[in-house]
Structure 1
Amino acid sequence: MNSILIAIILANVLMSYKGFNDHNFFRKYEFHMGRVLSGQYVRVLSSAFLHADIAHLAFNMLTLYFFAPVVMHYLGDLYFVLIYIGSLVFGSLLTIYFHKKEYHYRAIGASGAVTGILYSAILLRPDMMLGLFFIVPIPAYIFGIVYLLYSIYGMKAKNDNIGHTAHFGGAVGGYLMTLIIMPQLLVDHVLMVALLTIPIVVLFGMAKMGKL
């Protein structure tokens, strides 16, 4: 396994484990809207290395383990790190944009960064097949579209504790950064690029109309 990928996974494991056993540490570094808006910007980054429990941590790290090699293979280690961090930040910024009036809003997890890597991999390999629930094969681009549409539904319904906004923001970050790094994809995979744009247009269209 690539040493950079090992370092990222290890950082997530160690910080999450510390958070599992130290409530004060967890509260100090989680994403808390009021604290972030008051100037505690470190939470934008630190919250992405905390997780709610072992299952939450394992799911995110397993997803990263499967899709990071695709991005590294096509773009190299440096761009992989840039997309990971950029997607993380983009997910937090979109969360701030949509939840800035909810001062008690809290969020944790690497989902934004990991989803950014997932969407980068989908753009680079749109012919890739994913195993839904590790069993049912589904084309990567269909998964991408459905996932973002589900995230929009989750943002609107607000009936669970999942950070759908960070997921969506991370996906958009990974999507945009990958196209900037490799604009040739706009020619080589033009149909897939267009299809993956649909949920993004839908999201901001609904926001403009006040539907979120």
Structure 2
Amino acid sequence: MNPIVLFIIAITCVVSYVGLNNINIFEKYKFNVSAINNRKEYIRLISSAFLHADFMHLLFNMLSLYFFQGAVTMYFGTVGFIIIYFGSLILGNLFSLMIYKNQPWYSAIGASGAVSGIIFASIAMAPNEISVNFLPGWIFGTLYFGYSVYMMLNPKQWDNLGHSAHLGGAFFGLVYSVVMHPQLALSNVYFLGVMSLPLAYLAYQIFVKKKIG
């Protein structure tokens, strides 16, 4: 595994563990609309990705990152991986900030936006070469986004995960892939299209139906 990827996974696990055992750190660095807009605590746009709701949430995100990082580092290199990971993370959280701007209480945590960008970028390059639990990568990606969209449109009181960040993160990963390797990405447009269906439905609910925000 690329050392940078390993470092990101390691530091995310350490910070998540600390956050789960220290409520002050968890509250200080989680994504929160009021803290970002009113107190200008922009560090939360990045720091929230290193916090997770529980060990299952952390494991799911880090395993997803592990399965999909190989294709990204192969086709885009270490620098490309860093650009996609943090670009998707930031754009995903900015998207959340935009749609929840009128809900100052809204908070979220998790690396969902960053991982979404990595998943889309890897599927754009190698949709069938990746498998997760015997599922082709693009099918896993479709289920991953389908679940996130369902949870976002049917919020639970106990759910504090950053589902909305998936849309912005996936968008960044997709656009970066098309810009860097347009022919290869477009040759896999069928797989990307299927995986985009849940996100397209989410965009419809947000921008047309106005059900969120």
Is TM-score (shorter-chain normalized) higher than 0.5?
Answer: yes
Paired residues for 1:74-89 under 5 Å = 74-89=75-90
Aligned to 1:73: 74
Aligned to 2:141: 144
Change (3 A) 1:126 1:7: same
Change (3 A) 1:126 1:34: same
Matched, 1:30 2:30: yes
Matched, 1:176 2:175: yes
What is the letter of the counterpart of residue 179 of structure 1?
A: V
Question: Does the residue aligned with 2:135 lie in a helix, a strand or coil?
Answer: strand
Aligned to 2:115: 114
Displacement of 1:119: 1.8
Cα separation, 2, equivalents of 1:167 and 1:92:
9
Seq. identity, %: 40
Q: Deviations over 1:29-59 (max 9, x none)?
A: 1111110111111100011111222222222
What is the letter of the counterpart of residue 167 of structure 1?
A: H
Most deviating of 159-168 and 40-49: 159-168
Cα separation, 1, equivalents of 2:89 and 2:191:
23
Aligned to 2:43: 42
- The 8 Å contact of residues 91 and 172 in structure 2, kept in 1 or not, is answered as yes
Cα separation, 1, equivalents of 2:62 and 2:145:
20
For this pair of structures, how many residues does the alignment match?
A: 208
Change (3 A) 1:166 1:209: same
Cα separation, 1, equivalents of 2:152 and 2:30:
20
How big is the alpha-carbon RMSD for the aligned residues of Structure 1 and Structure 2? 2.1
Aligned to 2:10: 10
Most deviating of 96-105 and 12-21: 12-21
- The 8 Å contact of residues 48 and 111 in structure 1, kept in 2 or not, is answered as yes
Displacement of 1:197: 4.2
Matched, 1:205 2:204: yes
Cα separation, 2, equivalents of 1:113 and 1:123:
16
Cα separation, 2, equivalents of 1:83 and 1:119:
10
What is the letter of the counterpart of residue 177 of structure 1?
A: Y
Cα separation, 1, equivalents of 2:54 and 2:77:
31
Cα separation, 2, equivalents of 1:190 and 1:155:
26
- The 8 Å contact of residues 151 and 168 in structure 1, kept in 2 or not, is answered as no
Aligned to 1:104: 105
Change (3 A) 1:42 1:10: same
Question: Does the residue aligned with 1:163 lie in a helix, a strand or coil?
Answer: coil
Question: Does the residue aligned with 1:174 lie in a helix, a strand or coil?
Answer: helix
Paired residues for 1:125-140 under 5 Å = 125-128=126-129, 130-131=131-132, 134=133, 137-140=134-137
Change (3 A) 1:140 1:58: closer
Displacement of 1:118: 1.6
